[in-house]
Structures are given as structure tokens and as C-alpha cells.
Amino acid sequence: MLKIVNIVGARPNFMKIAPLMSEYKKYDEIEPILVHTGQHYDKKMSELFFDQLGIPKPDVNLGVGSGSHAVQTADIMKAVEPVLLEYKPDAMLVVGDVNSTIACGLVAVKLGIKLIHVEAGLRSFDTAMPEEINRRLTDSISDLLFCTEKSGVENLKKEGIPEDRIHLVGHVMIDTLLSNIAKARSSSILPDLQRQKVINGESYAVLTLHRPSNVDDPEVFSKILDGLEVIQKDMPILFPIHPRTRKNLSLSNLGSRVQSMKRLHLMEPVGYLDFLQLLSNAKLVLTDSGGIQEETTVLKVPCLTLRENTERPVTVEIGSNLLVGKDPQKIIGGYFKIKNGARRECQIPPLWDGKASERIVKVILTTFCALQKVYV
């Protein structure tokens, strides 16, 4: 039996773990254990996704919650260690680049537990971004590294990671998208917004913002709002707001400014199926999210990324994603370029075909079944 502890903590982790939890069921040799760190805890940032994506209830919830980077990371480490000592897994699987990823990974390797990183090798080369630190550190201690795109493989090789640990497998988040898109079509969110006259049958944009570099400094956030103010006069913008961003609006005087923008429609964070429906019918998406740059690529909806860089360069190379940073003029320019330009037919990156989790579990089995004897 190969016992694998799987870690989730924050919203994007749930879409990534869902297809793996379901793939494990095909193999009697695997005993999966699911641990939720509790990094995200609001119903709309966590529980909702378990229900919608059919993720089993976590075996353990560490209930760690929010805190500074040091406090959150340390609390997760302290809470996960006794769980690992109790379950004695052969391997731990972590996804993405959040604090839960590195915190749990670090504890695992120090206990001699093999570490598997899904979504390895992505690099923004911007060390001011907390996720970039988490990515580099997690990759440097992982035994098996699964990449979503070619750039990930190249980055890892350059960093000296042995090639036999690296596997290009596609994207588990896209597995989830492809298996839920049909269900998302029957969400009632768009008809509801039409009925409420938030949108009137016209084109609309979707906006998400939560990067500290965009929303933690009111001066920067205010510049982004300068751009959005112009855009919302031309097209309604649906804005499911992240709790970090809502908190920052309420702590600054920007909240009233946002309220005054009649066609910038603030909403609570929405469930995955509702969000997919909003994304797939949007004229364009404005975002600083990592995952949404990739989802829009597959949905063939143009994406304006409000960042200076991206760790997902394939989306830019393919042409579905345009980096516009936080300069209002560039944001507005990008918007009109998309609105008035001809829609481009962009390709979908190799292996983003809904089968990443299948590939990953096969590699895990072939890699660890021989090693496993050492652990029993």
C-alpha cells in the first residue's frame, strides 16, 4: 500500500486536488489521506468547492487560518507534524505555490517522507512575490516534480534538478475545468444577473484581484481603479471580490470610490461552477490570478493580466493572455485592443487535455512502488 498525504489549504488548491483524489480511487495500491491546513476557511473560499467538485471531506483539518507569512507558515508546520507522525505516509503530495505548500513540504522532507510537487517549475522571477519563494523552495526539496508547461521543465533543469525527477504531464486544474464545463453551463448565475439588470444582454467583463502587490498599497490599488473606472463606463464589469481585497477596500477610502462606479458590480466570491459560467461567457477577463490566466486560455476568452510578469508564459506565447501591469493607460489600452480587435484563434498548450491526473498517478506508482518496500 502506498500511503499518500495530500495537502490543500487555499482556494486554487481545491481545483488541483479534485481530479487526483478521484484518480486515486482507480488503484487499490494507493491509500490517499487528505489534509486541509485551513489557510482558507470562509465557506465561499473553501467548503463550497468540496461540495461542487466532489472532493472527499478532509481526513484532518488543521484549522490554521490567517496570519502574517511567518505566523501562518509556522502554525501550519507545527500543526502538520503530529499528523504525519500519526499517519506515517510514504509520500506527501502538494500542489501550487501557497504557504500551505511549502510549510507542509518542509515538514515532510525533514521526516524523511518523499515529496511530490504538482505544478512545479513555474517562475515569475519576481522574488517580491511570496509565491515565487514558495515555488523555488518547494521544488528544491521535491523528489518528484510535475510540470504543466515546457517553461517549467526548462526552469527546473537550469536550477539543477535531476531530469529523472521532472515530468511534463499537463495541468490538473484543466482536468477539473474540462470535467465541469458542461455542468457549469446550467448554472443560474448569468440569468440571475440578467434578471437583476446587472447586465442587460450586452457583453461584460469579469475581474478578479488579490495579489498583495496590487491591492495592499492603496496608491497602487487606486491607479488600477483609475483604469477600471474608464472601462466600466464602456462595459459592465463583474467583480467577485477576494476577502483580502475586500478587507483592503474597507481599510482605505477606496471603498466609496468603488461604490460610485455604477457598472463595476461587486459580488461575494462565487462557487466554481458559477465562476466558470461567468468566465466562459465573458467578452474578456481582467485578473491578477495565476489559475485564471490558464483557464481563460482553454476557454478561449481573452485575458488581460494586471501584472508585470507571469509564471505562466505559455499563455502569453499562445496569445490568449496580455500582460498590462497596473498602469491605468496600459489597462485601458489593452481593453480597447481586445474589444475592438478581431478575435484570435489561440491554441491550447500541449497536454492540457483533461488527462494530467491520470499521467501523474501512473508516474507516482511506477516511481514509488519499487521504493515503497523501504518504508514498510
Please classify residue 202 by burial: count the beta carbons closer than 10 Å to its beta carbon, then call 0-12 exposed, 13-18 middle and 19+ buried: exposed
Q: Is 132 in the site for ligand UDP (CB under 6 A)?
A: no
User: Residue 80: which of 143, 36, 47, 40 has the closest Cα?
Assistant: 36
- Please tell me what DSSP assigns to residue 343: P
CB 107 within 8 A of CB 46: no
295 binds, among ligand UD1, ligand UDP, none (CB under 5 to 8 A by kind): ligand UDP
208 binds, among ligand UDP, ligand UD1, none (CB under 5 to 8 A by kind): ligand UDP
**Residues contacting residue 243 through CB under 8 Å, at least 6 positions apart:** 42, 45, 269
Exactly one of 4, 9, 11, 263 binds ligand UDP (CB under 6 A); which one?
11
For cell 525527477, name the residue.
Answer: 165
- Of 91 and 173, the one with the shorter C-beta distance to ligand UDP is 173
Would you state the cell numbers that stand for residue 88, as one nine-digit string?
A: 506515517
Beta-ladder partners of 36: 8, 61
**Rg of the chain, C-alpha, whole Å:** 20
The whole-angstrom separation of Cα 357 and Cα 21 is 9
User: Residue 294: which of 48, 7, 6, 15 has the closest Cα?
Assistant: 15
- Please tell me what DSSP assigns to residue 262: T
Count the Cβ atoms, other than its own, within 10 Å of residue 363: 15
E strand segments, the chain: 2-8, 30-36, 60-61, 91-95, 114-118, 144-147, 166-168, 205-208, 237-240, 264-267, 284-287, 303-305, 321-323
**145 residue type, one letter:** L
Nearest distance from residue 290's CB to ligand UDP, in Å?
Answer: 4
Query: What would the x/- binding string for ligand UDP be over residues 155 to 194, using CB under 6 A?
Result: ----------------------------------------
CB 7 within 8 A of CB 168: no
The whole-angstrom separation of Cα 229 and Cα 294 is 26
Exactly one of 290, 313, 334, 354 binds ligand UDP (CB under 6 A); which one?
290
Exactly one of 135, 295, 305, 326 binds ligand UDP (CB under 6 A); which one?
295
Q: Is 208 in the site for ligand UDP (CB under 6 A)?
A: yes
204 binds, among ligand UD1, ligand UDP, none (CB under 5 to 8 A by kind): none
The residues of the shown chain that bind ligand UD1, judged by CB under 6 A, are: 10-12, 39-42, 45, 66, 72, 97-99, 130-131, 210, 242-244, 247
Nearest distance from residue 240's CB to ligand UDP, in Å?
Answer: 4
130 binds, among ligand UDP, ligand UD1, none (CB under 5 to 8 A by kind): ligand UD1
CB 235 within 8 A of CB 201: no
Q: Is 292 in the site for ligand UDP (CB under 6 A)?
A: yes
- Of 32 and 240, the one with the shorter C-beta distance to ligand UD1 is 240
Catalytic residue, candidates 40, 167, 210, 242: 210
Nearest distance from residue 177's CB to ligand UDP, in Å?
Answer: 8
Is 36 a residue of the active site?
A: no
For cell 536550477, name the residue.
Answer: 159
Would you state the cell numbers that stand for residue 97, as one nine-digit string?
A: 505555490
Q: Is 291 in the site for ligand UDP (CB under 6 A)?
A: yes
- Of 9 and 269, the one with the shorter C-beta distance to ligand UDP is 269
Would you state the cell numbers that stand for residue 197, as one nine-digit string?
A: 439588470
Nearest distance from residue 338's CB to ligand UD1, in Å?
Answer: 24
- Of 6 and 39, the one with the shorter C-beta distance to ligand UD1 is 39
Nearest distance from residue 212's CB to ligand UDP, in Å?
Answer: 11
Nearest distance from residue 131's CB to ligand UDP, in Å?
Answer: 7
152 binds, among ligand UDP, ligand UD1, none (CB under 5 to 8 A by kind): none
Q: At what angle do helices 218-234 and 243-251 cross, to 10 degrees?
A: 110
Window 246-275: residues binding ligand UDP (CB under 6 A): 269-270, 272, 275
Nearest distance from residue 247's CB to ligand UD1, in Å?
Answer: 5
Residues of this chain that interact with ligand UDP (CB under 6 A) are 11-12, 15, 208, 240, 269-270, 272, 275, 289-292, 295
